[in-house]
Amino acid sequence: MGGGKNCPILKGLICHKWQFGRYGNPYILKLKNNTIKDISPLNILRKGYSLVYSNGKIANQTADFEIDGELKIKVVDGEVHSSVRKIKKN
């Protein structure tokens, strides 16, 4: 590399490599940030899902419920309290 012609380009490449090494790949950082957002419990609730608690624990199968048992259903903007009237297993 002769002369001063390539110096600005070389300087830019060195600067880019230094920043890349210092701050990491911006695309990877954005991907990781989006992944964290996607699995965030609050964002899951925003998508229309809810969390159902029975006996203070998250319930995900019929065995977790009992007739007249109290339920707490967590939705994006609060909670709903209810009770079990019927259990039907598939």
Q: For residue 72, list its beta bridge partners.
A: 53, 81
Looking at residue 58, what DSSP letter applies? E
Lowest mean pLDDT among 8-12, 38-42, 52-56, 84-88: 8-12
Q: Which residues contact 69 (CB under 8 A, 6 or more apart)?
A: 54, 55, 83, 84
Structure tokens at 2: 């002769």
pLDDT digit string (tens) for 12-21?
Answer: 666 666 556 5
Higher-scoring residue by pLDDT: 21, 67:
67
Q: What pTM value is reported for the model?
A: 0.60
| Domain residue ranges in the chain | 1-39, 41-90
